Amino acid sequence: MTYSTNHTLKSTLSKPLIQHLFTRRAVIPVREDVLWRIDRGIVRTLTWSEEGSSITLGYWGLGDIVGYPLSKVKPYQIECLTSVEASIVPPHLWYQDVDALLCHIQQAEELLSILHRKPTSLKLWQFLVWLSEKFGRDLEQGKLIDLNVTHQDISEVLNTTRVTITRLLQQFEEDGKILRHKRSIVLNLPTKFTKV
């Protein structure tokens, strides 16, 4: 009897998770007992204020775990910012993703701390650095934020106006802090290691 229970548990644990494909701007379904692991692509989690304006809760990519059990905010939505491959992680397997769950908490708290920075220029700069660390790609000119976010998207996250974001980004560009690469932003960050 013990053998069959252990055997059933082992066979359940060894089954590969079923991947689901979602297109850009698709909404991933949420349930109280479902976590999603992002296997490819980028999503954002969000809710709405009483006035109907969206409130971004976080941006998530490869290896991140998202889902209603991590939030309890109502309403709660997972929106695909790119095409996405994601797998449902059933509750009996959540313990296998402890590192991803801890990472989720750390990233959410880091974003929350950024949102409370003052002045807005510092808040915007810290947000861009956060995005570059999460979704960045090294280029010769700096760190490319490999995520297509609009000035409106950024203003909604930082709780300011699109006009303010546009003005600050222009100022960052004039100051040489950022470069434009097509529709993306490249951060001109100081290098960690200098050649001797």
Cβ atoms < 10 Å from Cβ of 77: 18
Flag whether 126 is in a domain. yes
Same domain, 26 and 71: yes
Flag whether 105 is in a domain. no
What are the distances in angstroms from CA 131 to CA 35, 61, 101, 126? 23, 11, 19, 9
Give yes or no for a contact between 77 and 45, defined as CB atoms under 8 angstroms apart. yes
Final residue of a domain: which of 63, 96, 129? Answer: 96
Same domain, 131 and 87: no
Per-residue pLDDT of the chain (196 residues; tens, 9 = 90+): 333 333 333 333 445 678 899 999 999 999 888 999 999 999 999 999 888 888 899 999 999 999 999 988 899 999 999 999 999 998 888 888 888 889 999 999 999 999 999 999 999 999 999 999 999 988 888 899 988 888 998 998 999 999 999 999 999 999 999 998 777 899 987 655 434 3
Q: What is the CATH number of the domain that holds 86?
A: 2.60.120.10
d(CA 124, CA 117): 9
Same domain, 7 and 92: yes
Query: How many structural domains compose the chain?
Result: 2
**Cα 113 to chain center, whole Å?**
15
Same domain, 80 and 9: yes
Same domain, 121 and 89: no
Q: What is the pTM of this model?
A: 0.79
d(CA 109, CA 58): 10
Tell me the residue range of the domain where 1 lies: 1-96
Final residue of a domain: which of 34, 62, 96? Answer: 96
